[in-house]
Structure 1
Amino acid sequence: MSASVKSYIGTWHDYANGVWTLTLPEREAGVLAAALLIFTGFVASQAWNITKFILHQTRVTDGVRDGLWHQQQVAIRNSDGHMHALWSLLSLAGAWFRLLGTTRTAARSFVLVFFSLASLVAWSAAQLFVSYIWTSSGNNYLVGSGLCGVVYPVTANLTRNSEKASVWQVYYGNRLEEAATYERPCYSQDPDPALCGRLPVPRLNWTAGDGGCPVLEDALCIKTNTTPVVMDSGFINSNDHLGVNAEPKDTIEYRRIATCAPLQGTHAFYNKSEALALGYQFEYYYGHNYILGTNYTFAYGVINRFRVGDYRLATFEYDPTPGLKVTWKPNSTMFDRTDAKISLFFLITDYLRYYAPVYDMWFLTSNSFNESTIANTSDGPVELWEPFHFVRIMACEEVHQLCNRNLPGAAVDQCANFTLAVDQVALSQKMALSPRQNSTWVRLRAALLETSLFDIAWKLSEPIEAARSVLDGSQYAKLPVNQWRREIGRWFSIGLAMVQRGMVEFVTGPALEEVQQYFVDVGGDWAVLDDCRAQRVRGVTGVRNFDMKGMLVLLALGVSVAVVGLTLDTIVGSAHAILHKGEERRLLWLMDNVFQIQRVAFEGKGVGGWRKADATVPVTAEGSFPRVDGTEKSYPRLSGVVYVTTGGAKTGEDIAADRLSLDSNCVDEQSSGPIGSPTR
């Protein structure tokens, strides 16, 4: 799998979590996130406009209307946000408590302070939760590389088969070792997010339990101090687990089941004459070996008995698919299934020494002996143990299943067993796969290539995990009684990891630079292009997801609140004027506006000629306004009228003439009634 993955940019539906997603580059995503927060702040201010209007209007009753009441009304009316209102109301309470008393002031301020504080808390929380639009929209991304293919050196410009084989072996070996490296932090323990955070899921969980003997002759399986194991991947959904983004009707399911057990060595025979001539000592008869052309499956040479080294592994597999070339065919009394494969694993220990007895039936030790040639043993000889037998055998049966949940009937009728050598077209037709399902099956079939237990054990550079604790021909770590289960469990996990990575590599290309030139685009030829465009991964850097549904809900609600907040007082005021009801509330809302308060103050000092006196912003052409009288600093007030114009001070006669002219010109523009009449 390529080290860097390019993400698709745009909107798409994530069928893993049901989120309609917008994916943007990090820079544009930052701008959008900031815009959403700014928009939410604007909506919060308009929501306060609604709240303050309701508070102001509901307080217009026949109750007490003293100075505190009027100032509270003004504070509410002219506040531009919940924080501003809260601070103004607290300031009022602080100013009035000496005159009215703490209890009375607090009681009369409580409701207003409560609503302003509640609004502040609620909208602050709302702005925090807005971030969920991009933080809770998932870590899934569509691959946008545009690649759709496989490594296929046969089509490359290679003249010799050895060159083609070499390219494939380099590629496959790297793929296998990468999966083995991935297995340790992601399967053998709780997945490390830093190391397991790029595939659609960190790992494909599987279960292990006791099972039956994988071969027909039940007596061959060792059941003393151990039990055959069944490893089951469960149903792996192409959308949920493999990241092929699709609706449920377009998904397929895959399942892998392996049953394994150590075997008795009863089929091993000693042939003295052959041993003397060829060095053979033990022959194991589990079926014909087509490579050697012998009736025995495997032979162990006597000369190796005295070799002190490491674990070795000899592997054999049999796939019953008709027409398939096989290297070994088991005896009919051992295996007769046509929808599964069987593998044999010969663990060769030669003359390994063990520092502790082993009761695992694949690594079993027997007699102990004293060894005095080991370094740093000044206290005397060291007790060591030797292998129970130089060759121990294990058999595994593997079954693969493909399922189409669109088929009628019970769940068991919706699945079919197959081996990895199956004719994929025939199986697709048998399972009645739709074109989209078939595309996923074609890609999955390519990802399954050479992922069996046999392939892992045969080609892995370090197939036996216990070998990590072998030094100088000695097994220094104490092996547990279930070591054999650990070994095959590791192979099983590596195989599943290869499937995971293979699905993604189909659309990202191989990571190994020397084989990238052999990556062949098959999207059109294999009719899998749409499936490739639907591949999900996680943890792509440089991009960010947004929840489109969340954004649209925020915008719809926000615009609605903003429209109401900007027009509520106008609409209600107009309704009061038309219906001739609630006039006092309308007029108090108007008069408590800071510009109306200013108008009334200036009129009291003789500034007249006001137009639009019943509007939110009254205006006047008057050019003479009073100044602040700072004579008494503890009691500031407006001074007498000082007439200031751009042409200098005017006389009283000039002012009188100006007023008469202004009044005669705008008398029709002034509203009637107490508010519209100029103060003289």
Structure 2
Amino acid sequence: MDNSVYLGVWTNWSRGPVLGLTLTTTRERGNLLLVLTAFFISFVATRLWKIFCLALHRSYSTSEPRDTVHHQQQVILRNSSSPESGILSLLRLIIAYRSSLKGRLIRRLTPVLLAILLLTGFTVAGGYSSSISSSIGDEALARSDNCALIDSSTTISSFNLWAAYSSKRIADATQYAQHCYTNASAGMPECQKYVVDKIATNITNTSAPCPFEEQVCQTKENILLDTGYIDSHESLGINAQGGERFAFRYVLHCAPLKTNGYTTTISLDNGTWAAYHYGTSKSGTSDNRTVRPFTYAARDIREQYDITGYDHLQEKRYLLGQVLFCTIHSLTRIAYAATSAVGSVTIDGKPHPDYEIMPISELTRSDGDVAIVFLVGNGVQFLERTDDAWYRATAKSAFIGNGQTTGETQTYRPTEAASPMGCVQQWQWCNLAYPKDVGCGPLASQNDAVEGAAPLFNLTSQDLGATWENGSTPVGTRLTWPLRVTLLSGSHIVYLLNNLGGKALTSQDRFYSGVQFPIPNNQWQQDVTFWWKTALSLIQAAFVETVYASTDTQLDPLRRPPLNEEDEKMCRSQARAPAMNKRSVWLT
């Protein structure tokens, strides 16, 4: 990536049209330019001193008789070649005639003072000449011939390629979030890939109210995370003038859910299952949907914890969801697979009937998309009781030992077969050509946020179309291009958790061989915060990675190049940092 930056003159709009005028060149040429700049400064200093001497000589010239000092001073001004030689000659003159200059010393010192100021100024300028390469940081303008979005496909082989590519991106974003979305990350080399090390979170409220109807939430202290307005230029590095920028906002609001009154037991040939009724769920293609009368099902808690011995414990791992698939006509045909979350999509203020779930009224939000995340203990033993509202490991379980020490330890397990958490996601899009109080669409579900903001970008629902791609005007592209980039970033919480599975839990840092070591009572909030940071990291990466789309030819069926000239312009406007082998020089 460091070899794919624009070389030449461009304007960094962070500093305006004048101070932002920038030249990006190779480091070798940049070093040569700095040496030449220092030499040029000294050359200019000598010529400017000559101009000062001429001006002073003319101002002191007169047809009236003057003393010897006057004529000597005029000779020095006429013949001194540099400020330092002029200072030395003038000081010698003043010292030699100091006794006869009483009352006129200040006037005689004027050329000396001017020479000192000139010499000092240009010496400082020469010393700071190297700073012109860092006066705007190491930002460079990204440039690549591979600008493209990588999208999924309907064929199985292409989908598998996309899944592998997406999984690698999420793994990278997870590592970046762990290292760079911390208070101690400033200055770390691995955190200097983008114009900012992290997208700031404007609001972190760990005592937020229930995001749904209050009776369905497990606790009154829930978590709300809000980016505030993410400026496309300042935070994402899309280099543009103030009136050509956009902003978007992302809000995540989560709460553990009550299970009492929302659970039934299902007995099948292969065991007993707990079914959770937070809405009906669907699976299959749009032409052949299977509708289930429950959202999710997990094996009975007693069957999950039917374990004997420490060796069997080592195989136990958390499941973020163990979804039960069955036909609508019979519950005797069953299979299950690990997943993380299920979600609904809100369109025109109502849940879309053809999506994954149709939530119950208590969980319905007209101004956001709903996701439900299920945590399954799956035999994991807790070394200590935890009252965390999502993990809920308060029931006594087996006594275990590690086979190396004497004695056994009382462990604990969850009280529920699965523990649900409900989340609401909201988005908002703004055209920064307008004041923020009138230039933003509604804070709403993903679909409604886009539709509500479209008129601010001179677009209609018909202009956007079903794929939200038609924004061929400069204004329209400020919505459609970033929208497509963020949609394909993998940052949506449902997709993110389905990909990460158990790795999405920060409690894994204190997990070993099927045993969960002590965790705090706000562990679930730490988990949600980690999902949030990973999602923001994916958004950061998506804009730069779109410019440098993978050159793997296997991904060619998934490649979606810019649709028009305005999309190309957005690609050419992407700034990034640092340019490790380049040098950006301030030209003004």
Q: TM-score, normalised by structure 2?
A: 0.79
Residues 203-242 of structure 1: pairs in structure 2 closer than 5 A: 203-206=198-201, 207-209=203-205, 210-216=207-213, 218-223=214-219, 227-242=221-236
Letter in 2 for 1:351: G
1:251 aligns with 2:292: no
Q: CA–CA distance in 1 between the matches of 2:89 and 2:403? A: 86
Q: Contact 2:439–2:456 at 8 Å: present in 1 too?
A: no
| Secondary structure of the corresponding residue to residue 414 of structure 1 | coil
Q: Check 1:375–1:53 CA distance in 2 against 1; reply closer, same or farther (3 A cut).
A: farther
| Secondary structure of the corresponding residue to residue 529 of structure 1 | helix
Q: Check 1:239–1:115 CA distance in 2 against 1; reply closer, same or farther (3 A cut).
A: closer
Q: CA–CA distance in 1 between the matches of 2:299 and 2:397? A: 24
Residue number among 440, 464, 467 corresponding to 2:478 in the alignment: 440
| Secondary structure of the corresponding residue to residue 544 of structure 1 | strand
Q: Contact 2:457–2:476 at 8 Å: present in 1 too?
A: no
Q: What's the offset of the Cα at 1:113?
A: 5.1
Q: CA–CA distance in 1 between the matches of 2:400 and 2:217? A: 38
Q: What's the offset of the Cα at 1:89?
A: 5.0
- Runs of 5+ consecutive residues of structure 2 not aligned to the other structure: 284-289, 308-312, 322-340, 460-470
Q: Contact 1:509–1:519 at 8 Å: present in 2 too?
A: no
Q: Check 1:187–1:489 CA distance in 2 against 1; reply closer, same or farther (3 A cut).
A: same
Q: Which residue of 1 aligns with 2:331?
A: none
Q: CA–CA distance in 2 between the matches of 1:441 and 1:44? A: 51
Letter in 2 for 1:220: V
Residues 33-432 of structure 1: pairs in structure 2 closer than 5 A: 33-53=34-54, 65=67, 74-88=75-89, 114-152=113-151, 154=153, 161-193=155-187, 194-206=189-201, 207-209=203-205, 210-216=207-213, 218-223=214-219, 227-269=221-263, 271=265, 274-275=266-267, 277-291=269-283, 293-302=291-300, 303-306=303-306, 308=313, 309-314=316-321, 315-321=341-347, 325-337=354-366, 339-367=367-395, 371=399, 373-378=401-406, 380-382=407-409, 384-406=411-433, 411=437, 414-417=440-443, 419-420=445-446, 428-429=454-455, 432=458
Q: What's the offset of the Cα at 1:533?
A: 1.8
Q: Which residue of 1 aligns with 2:330?
A: none
Q: CA–CA distance in 2 between the matches of 1:74 and 1:413? A: 68
RMSD value over aligned CA atoms? 3.7
Give CA deviations for 1:609-635 in whole Å, capped at 9, x if unaligned: xxxxxxxxxxxxxxxxxxxxxxxxxxx
Q: CA–CA distance in 1 between the matches of 2:127 and 2:320? A: 59
Relative contact order (alpha carbons < 8 A, sep ≥ 6): 1 or 2 greater? 2
Q: Contact 2:242–2:433 at 8 Å: present in 1 too?
A: no
Q: What's the offset of the Cα at 1:459?
A: 0.8
Letter in 1 for 2:511: V
Greater mean deviation of Cα atoms: 531-540 or 519-528 = 519-528
Q: Contact 1:236–1:254 at 8 Å: present in 2 too?
A: yes
Identity over aligned residues, as a percent? 21
1:453 aligns with 2:481: no
Q: Contact 2:457–2:478 at 8 Å: present in 1 too?
A: no
Give CA deviations for 1:638-664 in whole Å, capped at 9, x if unaligned: xxxxxxxxxxxxxxxxxxxxxxxxxxx
> Number of paired residues?
529
Letter in 1 for 2:167: G
Q: Contact 1:262–1:395 at 8 Å: present in 2 too?
A: yes
| Secondary structure of the corresponding residue to residue 333 of structure 1 | helix
Q: CA–CA distance in 2 between the matches of 1:53 and 1:247? A: 45
Q: Which residue of 1 aligns with 2:514?
A: 473
Q: Contact 1:147–1:521 at 8 Å: present in 2 too?
A: no
Letter in 2 for 1:33: L
Q: Contact 2:246–2:479 at 8 Å: present in 1 too?
A: yes
Q: What's the offset of the Cα at 1:262?
A: 0.9
| Secondary structure of the corresponding residue to residue 416 of structure 1 | coil
Q: TM-score, normalised by structure 1?
A: 0.69
Q: CA–CA distance in 1 between the matches of 2:526 and 2:12? A: 36
Q: CA–CA distance in 2 between the matches of 1:402 and 1:507? A: 22
Q: Which residue of 2 aligns with 1:594?
A: none
Q: What's the offset of the Cα at 1:519?
A: 5.7
Letter in 2 for 1:212: P
Letter in 2 for 1:219: Q
Q: What's the offset of the Cα at 1:367?
A: 4.9
Q: Check 1:70–1:412 CA distance in 2 against 1; reply closer, same or farther (3 A cut).
A: closer
Q: Check 1:174–1:113 CA distance in 2 against 1; reply closer, same or farther (3 A cut).
A: same
Q: Which residue of 2 aligns with 1:25?
A: 26
| Secondary structure of the corresponding residue to residue 415 of structure 1 | coil
Q: What's the offset of the Cα at 1:261?
A: 0.6
Q: Which has the larger radius of gyration?
A: 1
